[in-house]
Amino acid sequence: MFNYKYFDDLSIELIDGDRGKNYPKNDEMLEKGYCLFLNAKNVTLNGFVFDENVFITKEKDGILRKGKLNRNDIVLTTRGTIGNVGLYDDKITYDNVRINSGMLIIRNNDNNINTRYLYYQLTSPFIRNQIFSLKTGSAQPQIPITVLKKLKLIIPDKRIQDKIVRVMDSIINKLTLNNEINNNLYEFSNSIFKKWFIQFEYPDFNGNLKESELGKIPEDWEIGYFDDSKLTSIIKSGVDKFEGTKKYVATADVTEKNITNYEEVSYNEKPSRANMTPRISSVWFAKMENSVKNILVDSYMKDILNNYIFSTGFMGVECINNSLYYIWNIINDDKFLQEKNSLSTGTLMAGISNSTIKNYKYLIPDQNTLHKFNEIQLNINKKIYNNSIQNEKLSQLRDTLLPKLMNGEIDLDNIEV
């Protein structure tokens, strides 16, 4: 049994970001720049994700005081979405990174503590449960430094820490490899789509076709609408009554094409008209302006079909006649995002509606072409899905194993790593 330690017992700094008059304003955030300025989407339950980034200039970075990361710093989200953690190690390709005002830097200066061990412990249910019990505020949960110092940490002998890190690294390395394979498969999938179809100009919203310099549109290809019976139809909201619990997915729980989080809910907690049930051969995309988040659902995805419901922040499109992967690629294409943005309405949170998107026009290839394309993409996506399922099991193993390793329930001397 280990004695608990607190941050004040250790040589660990807890560092706020700069919240002064020089804090970057919205119009100072750039798509590209000198210093990556972390946002809430960059720090997840499973570490850093760099799908949606903003930057500040070198000049702006130079006048900010606190909040600049050093290598091997740990970032913890402390406001709004609390308890997400990222490790700024040598694998991160950005050399200049700052935290925003809803984050905290944890900087380990203690030679008796393995920084990766500290990071893994902060991702564990043991710490996360404490964070949620200590949080303050209801409208916007937060955990100030004074409260954070009350966290109980398990700090075993350094030799034990190092062995725990080797065990956890072996799991994380496999997770990382699977993610890299999936990213490559996504790129390969997209390259096939572009090679087969982007040689032709897509119709604009009025249905006008423009032939590109690269190719003439085949005569047996047509124009389709999102809400007709040719290939697609918009899925109306509502779920069938269910017993027990389902995994409720909001748009915030998805990064591009991956479900990264969910909430366990009963039928009574989420009224049927407020959510939607996944269907075989459907694509779900976030209604919000500028959002590229989407989820593909095929017949082999039994877990999603049987156990999930989606919030009405998503719009569902049911696909028939070998069109699933073709429509999915259309939704992933920049031209669709541009059209969606142009049709988005609303002041507080602009987004697309069923009435505006239902007449979206797209090019329909002949059935033979659709069938061949669908078969190729199906094989690619099955590999992606199987890797994702393996990652989910590895994540469960990580979350189950880590507390037992920290508490000494598993004899590390009998584990070969």
What is the residue-level pLDDT of the chain in tens, covering all 417 positions? 557 899 999 999 999 988 889 999 999 999 999 999 999 889 988 899 898 899 999 999 999 989 999 999 999 999 988 999 999 999 999 999 999 999 999 999 999 999 999 999 999 888 989 998 988 877 788 999 999 999 999 999 999 999 999 999 999 999 989 989 998 999 999 999 988 887 655 555 455 555 444 456 777 888 888 877 689 888 887 887 888 899 999 998 888 888 878 888 888 876 555 678 899 999 999 999 889 999 999 999 999 999 999 998 999 999 999 999 999 999 998 888 888 888 888 777 788 888 888 878 888 899 999 999 999 999 999 999 999 899 989 988 988 888 888 888 887 776 665
Residues 57, 58, 64, 68, Cα dihedral to 10°: 100
| Alpha-carbon span 267 to 240, nearest angstrom | 9
Q: For residue 32, what are its two tokens?
A: 């590209």
CB-based contacts of 329: which residues, under 8 Å, 6+ apart? Answer: 189, 190, 193, 197, 377
pLDDT at 214: 41
Contact (Cβ atoms closer than 8 angstroms) between residue 411 and residue 401: no
pLDDT at 60: 96
| Alpha-carbon span 11 to 68, nearest angstrom | 19
| Alpha-carbon span 357 to 298, nearest angstrom | 22
Q: How many CB atoms lie within 10 A of CB 192?
A: 15
| Alpha-carbon span 122 to 43, nearest angstrom | 13
Contact (Cβ atoms closer than 8 angstroms) between residue 230 and residue 25: no
Buried b (16+ CB within 10 A) or exposed e, 230-256: ebbbbbebebeeeeeebbbbbbebbbe
pLDDT at 404: 87
Helices (H) and strands (E) in the chain, counts: 10, 23
Q: Which residues pair with residue 351 across a beta bridge?
A: 288, 345
| Alpha-carbon span 364 to 351, nearest angstrom | 26
| Alpha-carbon span 149 to 138, nearest angstrom | 21
pLDDT at 95: 97
Give the CA distances from residue 125 to residues 209, 329, 364, 398, in Å, rounded to whole numbers and listed in that order: 54, 37, 49, 11
| Alpha-carbon span 283 to 333, nearest angstrom | 14
| Alpha-carbon span 81 to 142, nearest angstrom | 8
Contact (Cβ atoms closer than 8 angstroms) between residue 325 and residue 314: no
